[in-house]
């Protein structure tokens, strides 16, 4: 009796790969030889990105030059009659006999006042006012820059103050003055963001045209804090603020 030799099973190439993977559970491994020439390349290293030096902070000595001078302010405000007014070399304090009601809306009414910046770590301040001549001049503008230890502190201060404006939107604010005059009540308007500049226009209850605008922006370690009153405010507070910000290094 003759015995036929065992039949060899043929395994397709694709199945070989599967069998190899299964065999990994029971044997040391499988190897596959692929004809061809190895192509080994050295890794290419990218040149290091240039490191940009940090922007130097704004210093107290630079503040007068960062504000808008009289000729440029006359152009921005649209009043050739504008004259130089008072200079502030620090945050100013409200007269003890002057009061605003409600007191939490004080920052909506005045700029650069010391109690508004209480607890915000302001280090220096410098301001300049301009106004038309006479007691009933058609234009008045105050610009101030307040410095902080770093950009984060400046941004926090600007946010804190403009949040106070938002909390007073739609409210009426009355004023008691030390000179005995009785000014009108003011209605606080909406807070508007235009680029980096935050503005708010308040309207007196005895006038449909005369109004005052508060404006504020933070850049580097500085906060621009200002007030403008006019019969035609338009977007001039934004223009004034942007002109100051353009002088502060990025």
Q: Give a yes or no: residue 143 inside a domain.
A: yes
**How many independent structural domains does the chain possess?**
1
Give tens-digit pLDDT for 173-186.
999 887 777 788 99
User: Is the distance from CB of 23 to CB of 187 less than 8 angstroms?
Assistant: no
Q: Give a yes or no: residue 19 inside a domain.
A: no
Q: E strands, 2-123, where?
A: 83-88, 99-101
Give tens-digit pLDDT for 132-173.
998 778 999 999 999 999 999 999 999 999 999 999 999 999
Q: Give a yes or no: residue 15 inside a domain.
A: no
Q: Which domain holds residue 220?
A: 60-245
CATH at residue 103? 3.40.1000.70
Q: Please tell me the predicted confidence (pLDDT) of residue 179.
A: 78
Q: Give a yes or no: residue 23 inside a domain.
A: no
Q: Which of 85, 104, 219 is nearest to 167 (CA)?
A: 104
pTM: 0.78
Range picked from 30-39, 173-182, 185-194 for highest mean pLDDT? 185-194
Q: Give a yes or no: residue 240 inside a domain.
A: yes
CA distances to 91, 101, 108, 185 from 174, in Å? 23, 5, 12, 5
Between 21 and 40, residue with greater pLDDT: 40
Q: Give a yes or no: residue 188 inside a domain.
A: yes
CB atoms within 10 A of CB 86: 11
In angstroms and rounded to an integer, the radius of gyration of the C-alpha atoms of the chain is 35
Q: Please tell me the predicted confidence (pLDDT) of residue 238.
A: 98
């Amino acid at each position: 009796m003759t015995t036929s030799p065992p039949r060899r099973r043929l395994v397709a190439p694709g199945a070989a790969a599967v069998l190899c993977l299964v065999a990994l559970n029971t044997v040391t491994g499988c190897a596959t030889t692929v004809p061809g020439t190895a192509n080994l390349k050295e890794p290419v290293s990218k040149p290091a990105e240039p490191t940009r030096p940090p922007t130097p902070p704004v210093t107290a000595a630079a503040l007068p030059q960062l504000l808008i001078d009289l000729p440029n302010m006359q152009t921005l405000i649209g009043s050739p009659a504008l004259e130089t007014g008072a200079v502030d070399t620090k945050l100013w304090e409200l007269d003890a006999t002057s009061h605003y009601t409600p007191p939490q809306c004080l920052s909506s009414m005045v700029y650069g006042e010391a109690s508004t910046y209480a607890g915000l770590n302001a280090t220096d301040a410098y301001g300049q006012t301009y106004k038309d001549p006479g007691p009933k001049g058609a234009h008045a503008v105050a610009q101030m820059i307040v410095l902080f230890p770093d950009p984060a502190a400046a941004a926090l201060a600007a946010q804190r103050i403009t949040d106070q404006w938002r909390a007073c939107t739609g409210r009426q604010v009355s004023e008691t003055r030390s000179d005995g005059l009785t000014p009108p009540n003011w209605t606080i308007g909406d807070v508007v963001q235009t680029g980096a500049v935050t503005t708010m226009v308040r309207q007196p209850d005895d006038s449909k045209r005369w109004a005052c605008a508060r404006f504020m922006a933070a850049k580097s370690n500085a906060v621009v804090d200002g007030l403008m009153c006019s019969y035609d405010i338009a977007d001039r507070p934004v223009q004034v603020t942007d002109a100051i910000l353009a002088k502060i290094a990025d």
